Homo-oligomer: A and B are copies of this chain.
């Protein structure tokens, strides 16, 4: 059986382009003991992928040149040599950007399409949801009455952060690009206010939306917005560093937060998070979030692009902010 795959051919300088990818077809390997052959159905597109394309270790090893591009996926088992996973089971795993993957059975876990559509296991019920859940609750530590600001607010992580903060009684302000996303935040997700960084002055809009100042800032973007938020934090504020999508494609050095001394003035802290640290608690979090979803308290949206051949362009949608909701690639 032939398998279409997307390999990392070269490392990008700035935004990834077509030359960084190689499309190949290869024969699917035979299974060894305790392995699965998975037909990939949805591939998760995440800002973190940009980091995996760089040389040098970050919180995880880089993808090697000539390797299948790493990606979180959901798919269906079509062959199994493991006693607990049967043909026809749906599984979440890191099967990569390809149609089929042979993986150790212990590297995946089953997901149930009766609880949620499969693609949702890449969003709210997957890594982005877990990132928002644990980053907000364990590091942001929201208290009722506090003001939370989240950037990348209409994205997979940001929308979860804002909605859970609302459930915890916070005033929630989202920063996103464009009126459509801002409208979505306020009118569909119930945010108290939204700031359109593409069309508004973020500094004055924040002042208006956060009259008491900012207690928690959940940062997905870095750059100018992080620096602006730092001028408006309150005493004992918590800044959760989840990502810095504005900086991932820099060809110049990362812009550090020049206003970081606001941390001193306000006895505030800035702390980095990586979702994998909470792996042991994923099931409990997924259960709680599934409950909120079924009660209509937590809404989810996926943005589906079809076709493995569209992977390179779909990835770019993340960086120019075209996606509305969790971006996934559907493999037909």
Contacts and interface: CB of A to CB of B under 8 A. Distances in A.
Interface of A: 58-59, 222, 227, 241-244, 247, 253-274, 277
Given A254-B261, A263-B272, A267-B273, 11 more contacts: A58-B265, A241-B263, A241-B264, A243-B264, A253-B258, A256-B260, A257-B257, A267-B277, A268-B271, A268-B272, A269-B269
Contact of A227 (B241, B256, B263): B256
A260 B258 contact: no
Given A255-B256, A256-B255, A256-B256, A261 B273 contact: no
Given A269-B269, A269-B272, A270-B269, A59 B264 contact: yes
Contacts of A256: 227, 255-260
A257 B254 CA distance: 9
A143 to B, nearest CB: 18
Contacts of A259: 254, 256
A151 to B, nearest CB: 14
Contacts of A227: 256
A258 B258 CA distance: 9
A1 to B, nearest CB: 39
B261 A267 contact: no
Contact of A269 (B59, B271, B274): B271
Nearest to A254: B258
B222 A261 contact: yes
B263 A271 contact: yes
Of A242, A255, A256, A257, most buried by chain B (CB within 10 Å of CB) is: A256
Contact of A241 (B222, B244, B255, B260): B260
A211 to B, nearest CB: 18
B272 A261 contact: yes
B272 A266 contact: yes
Nearest to A260: B256
A322 B98 CA distance: 63
A207 to B, nearest CB: 16
Contacts of A255: 256, 258
B254 A241 contact: no
A90 to B, nearest CB: 31
A25 to B, nearest CB: 36
Nearest to A243: B264
A323 to B, nearest CB: 22
A233 to B, nearest CB: 10
